[in-house]
Structure 1
Amino acid sequence: MKAINISYKPAGQFEDTRFEKIHNVVFSNSVEASICVAQEIATLIKLKQANNKPCILGLATGSSPIRVYEELVRMHIEEGLSFSNVVTFNLDEYYPMDKNSIHSYFYFMHQHLFNHVNINPNNINIPSGSVSQKELHQYCIDYELKIKEYGGLDFQLLGIGRTGHIGFNEPGSHYNSGTRSITLDHLTKIDAAPSFLGINNVPKKAITMGIGTVKSAKRIVLLAWGHNKSSIIKDTIEGEITSEVPASYLQKHSNTTFILNEEAAQDLTRLNTPWLVGQCIWDEELSSKAIIWLCDLTKKSILKLTDEDYNNNGMSSLLIQGGSSYDINIKMFNKLQHTITGWPGGKPNADDSSRPERAKPHKKRVIIFSPHPDDDVISMGGTFDRLVEQGHDVHIAYQTSGNIAVSNQEALKFAEVIKDMDYSKGSKIDTIINKLHSKTEDVEDIKDIRILKGLIRKRESLAATRFVGVPDKNVHFLNLPFYETGTIKKHPMGKIDVDIVANLITKIKPHQIYAAGDLADPHGTHKVCLDAVFSALNHLKPLKFMKDCWIWLYRGAWHEWDIHQIDMSIPMSPDQVLKKRKAIFFHQSQKDGVMFQGNDLREFWVRAEERNNETAQKYHKLGLADYAALEAFKRYYY
């Protein structure tokens, strides 16, 4: 049986290594990858049609396959791809779950695929979340039998959870399991919590196809995007087969391919430490990454690495190319040392030949793009403060209102304050208060409540920017339309979003732009906001003022740039760390009981401080100065 059914064109050529046990293809981005997968599915559908046979597809939900479904819909509308012979079986469904709920996978599949193609409704099979407990066992048996009656699945599309689950086959699932009811892992519920506006609203159980059912498919393609999936992808592809990582059972399937973007594949040995696999082309980035890795492995600072360290750890060719460990070490030490500056806007009247930023102009116009109304102070509050202190013309652009992250309880508190100050009867605030008293977090907000929640975040932002010293006229609330849906699911980025960003850049004509480069979720708000900035930059690139505009990317509260990726690092004193903390505290609605906490129970200010301290410690362990904290940035060339 062939390992792959169509010719993929990956970002990097796949090479079998002694580490990898599942065929995988790495693409530069999830869009290109999704289109290729959709083309394989379309080819299979047409082949079955030519032979007058049904095409039996196993389908997945979640964010990973959305772009695949969009491309299939496009091919149906624009190229006449017919689904008349297609029979589908979905992997899973929450239990209990009404099929008409916006959280149901029935709703998801119809919204993203079935409502837009000519599939026979009788050919759609999705586990029912409304089957009675008494009938559930037999229902699962019947679902399994129906798949077998069709001769099994021709093609199974999968995503993967951070627990390694495929479908809802959580850790502990048996390799021969069939369709059944299962209790969701806590981490799975945490990942689902944003869609349900809180973990308490996530169902505790689900119905899922079993591992045995999935493995019986003739062809399996698994999708994974984003660096939050990179660890489990490595465990699945390179680790041992174990029930603790259910996806690892796919190592025994002879026709499986994992389709990954670069972020999801970054921990694979051939990409993360390719010098352990074979010969490398030692460019500057790979050399830097390898030296940092070697320091961590040997627990040595850069200047203490020896020829023996390089030779014993797969890096002898770098030693040959570099001349000696002494020469390599000095070059790397100087490179890292030159990333550190207390002048993020450039140091006036200084030799800037080895500094990350230009000395001129002395006073720069700066835009800090913040996807949510607190990312600026959480992610780069110290740098923000330094830019203001050093006299630069700093502008803050809050790209979204952030209203969905304000809890009903927080909004009710503010609404009742307004009510206490409003002596009129029957005002709009009464309606808002009544709605907030009666609604639950998983119900979409009405427009007036969204406005109230957005205003809460706006005023918190202004309090923080005033504390740092930015005049109100330099604070811009863009309220990009893609975000304003009232639910966790957003609209696609549109021309109007890009135009709003481009108009602000054109008005200010900045010398520096800071933007959030946190790409853990390729469908998340940070990614869309960054894409809007990138699209605006590409549009404005021919303009004269753009030749003097440099772009610096920062990371969010959860992740930091790897040391070898950092182009500029800004040290903070203990007093500056404290000032950053106070700026974060102005975002009170996000401080206590934050809605989208994730599996990290620390408050955002704690996450930020510990991340900045950890970066400083990494620099110090490499032999550089010992700072209280460091904020890190990567330059983007457009």
Structure 2
Amino acid sequence: MAALKPAASTDFALRNQIERIPCCVFKHAQSASEYVAGQIADLIRQRAAEGKPCVLGLATGSTPTTVYAELVRLHREEGLSFAGVHTFNLDEYYPMQPNELQSYVRFMNENLFDHIDIDRANVRIPDGTLAEEDVLAHCANYEQQIEELGGVDIQVLGIGRTGHIGFNEPGSGRDSRTRMITLDKKTRQDASSDFFGEDYVPRRAITMGVGTILESAQIYMLAFGEGKAKVVAEAVEGEVTPIIAASFLQDHPNSIVVLDEAAAARLTRYQAPWLLGPLSSGPGGVFEWNDEWTRKAVIWLATKLGKPILKLTEEDYNEEGLQELLAKKGRAYDINLQVFRQLQATISGWPGGKPPERRQPGDRRQAHDDIFPKRIICFSPHPDDDVISMGGTLIRLCDQGHEVHIAYQTSGNVAVFDDDAIRYAEFMSEFNRQFGIDPEQTAKLEEHVETFLKNKQPGQVDSPEVQAIKGLIRRTEARAGARVAGVPEERCRFLDMPFYQTGRVRKNPLGEDDVELIMAYLEELQPHQLYCAGDLSDPHGTHRTCLRAILTACDRLKDRDWMQHCVVWLYRGAWQEWEPHQIEMAVPLSPQELLRKRNAIFKHESQKDKALFPGSDPREFWQRAEDRNRGCAQLYDRLGLSEFEAIEGFVRWKGELDGVV
């Protein structure tokens, strides 16, 4: 899956009429983080040589963790000293004790301060333990300390879904200072997973103000992942407005937005670069109207004008800024026909290929039909991603006679409500008592579960017994959903990848044992097709970690005979959908297949009605899946292709690990 190359350099884009804050776009978040860490390290060394302090403004959350990891590496391996560094953190929940799991004091200690030689007297974080009547004076003192040190030299920022920087929620003024604020509902929803439920998220926080942030000498705002793309585009290319506090950075002379390609995807230079002017060349490279860009432009034009592709005229191209495409590619009719045929070729009701007796001489995907039936693995990061994202395709593969296996990569046990664990413990107790199965041991288990969960604190790690029960709930639901799709129980494998086994929302990094587990499973089955989750916007990064494990394993096994003939497809659906220009296989679903898919999703009862970690989308997972599948089919219809009830889209992995995760 090759990424589209932007019209401008991926290093720097100067301020222009569209991007009102300079944006620095890197292929991966790791490279972006190393760049920011390098800028910080250079300033620390410079100030140390001058005998002056270096003042840093620091952020929390998942975004800056890789920056902090690189700073720790520079300290350990290259001798970077933080002895003369002063830090001011942006914010803290209120109330909040410093030792709590969600405390930003604890976050900073675990991710940075415990691993470097900074003087703890130089570390300042808003105090979430104060009495409410003392907060105002504390905020004033915070401002004074920044001023006494000459201001913040480098301020690191993330950006929230509401466009907030720090906890400056919509409505925060340009000149606002450090203060107590009330958190926006969306912010609390986004934080709910860290607190194991929105009800436990504090309603208030202490934050630096927008005015305080804008007084920093240099600002780096970081954003990574598809989930940040929309708000980044609004902040960078939209109007300055207190509704999106990050937009105030447009008025700062030394602010830079640092992105990976996923977070930059909604910027005009990635979304519709032809609107920027002539594309024959640009800073840092030459733009080429290849097939993918042509397809993207034509779909964009047809969608904007509400026309089928084959009805687009040369006037349409000229009036919407696509004159250069005509100049490069020829007549509108020929371009239309080329793109229409490309999209038409993606539609396949036989995702695993046809049996010999069903093949026709003109079948477009004949090359993939050499083996029938095929041995197929669907990798599911959580126990429900399989049926949510590609349930209809699973149904088709099974009904068409292929040997389908499902590999559930993690237990998903942290995503089960405590009430469900109690209910299942009670069920086990009643069942065992009724059949005379070790009633004493059963009573102890039930008592432990109820006592533990009754006294459980928000964010507390479940006991091993509770984790086991929650894991069993997800397993039995997964098997039930697979049966609806047609996959027998003996072909369901629960891998329980080690990186996930923390009992907490925050997981361990991907380890060698994770990759070896996947490699062993692949070697055992030697599949002809793999299906893997490619929607990387899940809030906790589990999909991204699971995909990296699979693709790393595939890369290491690429010289195996069976792997050289194995096709790897990436699906989406639970958190996002493929753009139409990206889809390489579109599997149509009938009304009956869509209903059967819904029934398979319904078997995941612990995630039904209200999931513990729903993310920012208020819809249930089955609703998200159906809306996206129907929306994809409706788009194909509007573009002039066949009309279907629903479509599941897939992108083929091209064998390159770089550029995917």
Q: TM-score range by the shorter chain?
A: over 0.9
Is the partner of 2:86 in helix, strand or coil?
strand
> Which is worse superposed, 539-548 or 10-19?
10-19
**Paired position in structure 1 for 2:180:** 181
| 1:347 matched to 2:380 | no
CA distance in 1, matches of 2:15, 2:475: 52
- Count matched residues: 630
**Paired position in structure 1 for 2:162:** 163
**Paired position in structure 1 for 2:285:** none
**Paired position in structure 2 for 1:561:** 578
**Paired position in structure 1 for 2:373:** 363
**Residue 305 of structure 1: which of 283, 299, 312 is its match?**
312
Give the 3 Å change call, closer, same or farther, for CA 363–98 of structure 1 in structure 2.
same
**Paired position in structure 2 for 1:233:** 232
> Which is worse superposed, 131-140 or 340-349?
340-349
Quote the offset at 1:12 in angstroms.
5.2
Is the partner of 1:97 in helix, strand or coil?
coil
| One-letter amino acid matched to 1:347 | K
CA distance in 2, matches of 1:35, 1:442: 31
Quote the offset at 1:556 in angstroms.
2.9
**Paired position in structure 2 for 1:5:** none
Is the partner of 1:156 in helix, strand or coil?
strand
**Paired position in structure 1 for 2:398:** 388
Q: How does 1:244-255 map to 2 (within 5 A)?
A: 244-255=243-254
**Paired position in structure 2 for 1:91:** 90
CA distance in 1, matches of 2:617, 2:59: 27
Q: Contact conserved, 2:47 with 2:53, CA < 8 A, in 1? A: yes
**Paired position in structure 2 for 1:80:** 79
**Paired position in structure 2 for 1:119:** 118
| 1:536 matched to 2:553 | yes
Q: Contact conserved, 2:63 with 2:223, CA < 8 A, in 1? A: yes
| 1:412 matched to 2:411 | no
Q: How does 1:185-200 map to 2 (within 5 A)?
A: 185-200=184-199
Q: How does 1:479-494 map to 2 (within 5 A)?
A: 479-494=496-511
**Residue 459 of structure 1: which of 471, 476, 479 is its match?**
476
**Residue 589 of structure 2: which of 569, 572, 594 is its match?**
572
Q: Contact conserved, 2:310 with 2:337, CA < 8 A, in 1? A: yes
CA distance in 2, matches of 1:434, 1:51: 60
CA distance in 1, matches of 2:291, 2:573: 26
Quote the offset at 1:270 in angstroms.
1.4
Q: Contact conserved, 1:153 with 1:217, CA < 8 A, in 2? A: yes
CA distance in 1, matches of 2:308, 2:526: 42
| 1:510 matched to 2:520 | no
**Paired position in structure 1 for 2:640:** 623
Q: How does 1:331-346 map to 2 (within 5 A)?
A: 331-346=338-353
| 1:295 matched to 2:318 | no
| One-letter amino acid matched to 2:328 | Q
CA distance in 2, matches of 1:522, 1:455: 23
**Residue 525 of structure 1: which of 533, 538, 542 is its match?**
542
Q: Contact conserved, 2:37 with 2:68, CA < 8 A, in 1? A: yes
CA distance in 2, matches of 1:352, 1:463: 39
Per-residue CA deviations over 1:607-627 (Å, capped at 9, x if unaligned) read 111111111000000001111
Quote the offset at 1:593 in angstroms.
2.4
> Which is worse superposed, 551-560 or 351-360?
351-360
**Residue 322 of structure 1: which of 326, 329, 335 is its match?**
329
Per-residue CA deviations over 1:1-48 (Å, capped at 9, x if unaligned) read xxxxxxxx9745525432111111111110111011111111111111
CA distance in 1, matches of 2:366, 2:170: 46
| One-letter amino acid matched to 2:327 | I
CA distance in 2, matches of 1:556, 1:400: 18
| One-letter amino acid matched to 2:450 | I
| One-letter amino acid matched to 2:295 | S
Is the partner of 1:84 in helix, strand or coil?
coil
Give the 3 Å change call, closer, same or farther, for CA 434–522 of structure 1 in structure 2.
closer
Quote the offset at 1:344 in angstroms.
0.4
Give the 3 Å change call, closer, same or farther, for CA 52–523 of structure 1 in structure 2.
farther
**Paired position in structure 1 for 2:5:** none
Q: Contact conserved, 1:339 with 1:356, CA < 8 A, in 2? A: no
Is the partner of 1:162 in helix, strand or coil?
coil
Quote the offset at 1:242 in angstroms.
0.9
| One-letter amino acid matched to 1:96 | P
Is the partner of 1:111 in helix, strand or coil?
helix
Is the partner of 1:287 in helix, strand or coil?
helix
CA distance in 2, matches of 1:421, 1:98: 43
**Paired position in structure 2 for 1:372:** 382
Is the partner of 1:194 in helix, strand or coil?
coil
Is the partner of 1:504 in helix, strand or coil?
helix
Q: Contact conserved, 2:506 with 2:540, CA < 8 A, in 1? A: no
| One-letter amino acid matched to 1:370 | S
> Which is worse superposed, 277-286 or 90-99?
277-286
> Which is worse superposed, 324-333 or 518-527?
518-527
Q: Contact conserved, 2:101 with 2:459, CA < 8 A, in 1? A: no
Q: Contact conserved, 2:573 with 2:624, CA < 8 A, in 1? A: no
| One-letter amino acid matched to 1:499 | E
Q: Contact conserved, 1:338 with 1:356, CA < 8 A, in 2? A: no
Superposition CA RMSD, Å: 1.5
**Paired position in structure 2 for 1:3:** none
CA distance in 2, matches of 1:279, 1:568: 32
Q: Which runs of 4+ in 1 moved over 3 A?
A: 9-13
Quote the offset at 1:356 in angstroms.
8.6
| 1:581 matched to 2:598 | yes
Provide structure 2 residue ranges, at least 5 long, that are not aligned to the other structure. 1-7, 280-287, 434-438, 656-661
CA distance in 2, matches of 1:398, 1:616: 28
> Which is worse superposed, 276-285 or 453-462?
276-285
CA distance in 2, matches of 1:191, 1:473: 37
In percent, how many aligned pairs have the same letter? Answer: 49
CA distance in 1, matches of 2:613, 2:10: 33
Is the partner of 2:592 in helix, strand or coil?
helix
Quote the offset at 1:117 in angstroms.
0.5
CA distance in 1, matches of 2:653, 2:215: 45
Provide structure 1 residue ranges, at least 5 long, that are not aligned to the other structure. 1-8
Per-residue CA deviations over 1:265-321 (Å, capped at 9, x if unaligned) read 111111110011123321111101000000011110000000100111111121122
